[in-house]
Amino acid sequence: MTRQWLAVGSMIMLSIIGCSSKSDSSSADGSSGENDKPVIGFVQTGSEGDWRKAHTVSVREAAEAAGYELRFADGQAKQENQIKALSSFVAQGVDGIILAPLVETGWDNVLEKAKKRNIPVLILDRQVDVKDDSLFVTYIGADTYNEGRLAAEWLIEKTGGKAKVVELQGTPGASPTINRYNGFRDVIGEESGIEIIASQSGDFRRSKGKEVMEAFLKKHGDEIDVVYAHNDDMAIGAIQAIEDAGKKPGDDIILVSIDGVRAAFEAMVEGKLNCTVECNPLQGPMAFEAMDKILSGDIGDMPKKQMIKDEVYERENAKEVIDSRKY
Ligand code: GYE
């Protein structure tokens, strides 16, 4: 396959790092090298926390292991940057694109550009909401709606169905935020005695989780029984805020979050976090297995959605499993 190499030039936000060590697939005159590897453009959301770091490493390592050249674009938490990076990969004529979309909507136009150039797009981690589903080949990621449900089921069991909850939401408009919000509410329903007394975005970030929790504590003080955080990083930020307010996280206030990163297991071992619902970021191998099939035209039985299974971990069993955690 002939590929064109267009210099990225003025696109400073786009950091392109080829993982290729054996050969460089493009030469200065724009033609492909002899031992060329297929080129994949990967558009990442940014680097908001520990989960994301593990996700980026997984994609990079899997690309290398599967014999791809990976061009990496960091969206730096802006959809605008991600759209520019996608357009640039289309202009470069890469063989395929992997997109981890920051938010759910607003992708139709740029995905149409890729489709016109016959460049297949695999959506990874977060979902897109597009009018025409043929704009991407497949979606691979966690079932984030189910994660919200699992957090609520655990909480009902733990509290006997009676608690006042504050919620730290993820990035507004991101599919895991929407799904974890809805999944949780669909389980607590209107009949349980679980009441959400405050809910605000902490942008999936530790610092923002701490800031929002400080404000919740100021406003609601002793009323708060539970923190439901859409990811571990925000829960860890909230733990700091709770300690600063002179309370005991894990005992005075119950915390349940999502991801299952190492720092969450450490917090559980220390008794400060009560529960984390796993969301596996090690999605690289699945992504490149799918990409192999896509590029060889073998997509007949490929499902439109490929979901990864999640488990629930509690502080009571954290010590036994912490050493076996891979991220
Ligand atoms: O839970 C969070 C990250 O999109 C599922 O993004 C992912 C989420 C993950 O920032 O920690």
Query: Degrees (nearest 5) of the Cα angle 214, 220, 222?
Result: 100
For 3-136, CATH gives 3.40.50.2300
Low-confidence spans in the chain with pLDDT less than 70: 1-35
Beta bridge partners of 41: 71, 97
pLDDT score for 221: 86
Contact 13, 76 (CB under 8 A): yes
In short, whether 176's Cβ falls inside 6 Å of ligand 1 is yes
**How many Å lie between the centroid of ligand 1 and the Cα of residue 78?**
15
**How many Å lie between the centroid of ligand 1 and the Cα of residue 289?**
22
Cα of 246 vs its chain's centroid, Å: 32
**How many Å lie between the centroid of ligand 1 and the Cα of residue 118?**
29
**How many Å lie between the centroid of ligand 1 and the Cα of residue 204?**
7
Per-domain residue ranges of the chain: 3-136, 144-280+313-324
pLDDT score for 35: 57
pLDDT score for 23: 37
| Same fold across 3-136 and 144-280+313-324 | yes
- Residue burial 94-106, b: 16+ Cβ < 10 Å; e: rest: bbbbbbbbbbbeb
Tens digits of residue pLDDT in 235-283: 999 999 999 999 999 999 999 999 999 999 999 999 999 999 999 999 9
- Report percent pLDDT > 90 for the chain: 87
CA-to-CA dists, residue 33 to 28, 36, 89, 170, 292, angstroms: 10, 5, 18, 43, 20
In short, whether 145's Cβ falls inside 6 Å of ligand 1 is no
In short, whether 253's Cβ falls inside 6 Å of ligand 1 is no
In short, whether 231's Cβ falls inside 6 Å of ligand 1 is yes
In short, whether 315's Cβ falls inside 6 Å of ligand 1 is no
Tens digits of residue pLDDT in 5-45: 233 333 333 443 333 333 334 433 333 433 589 999 999 99
Distance CA 116, CA 101 (A): 20
192 CB-near residues (< 8 Å, 6+ apart): 156, 161, 162
**How many Å lie between the centroid of ligand 1 and the Cα of residue 177?**
9
Superfamily of domain covering 144-280+313-324: Response regulator (3.40.50.2300)
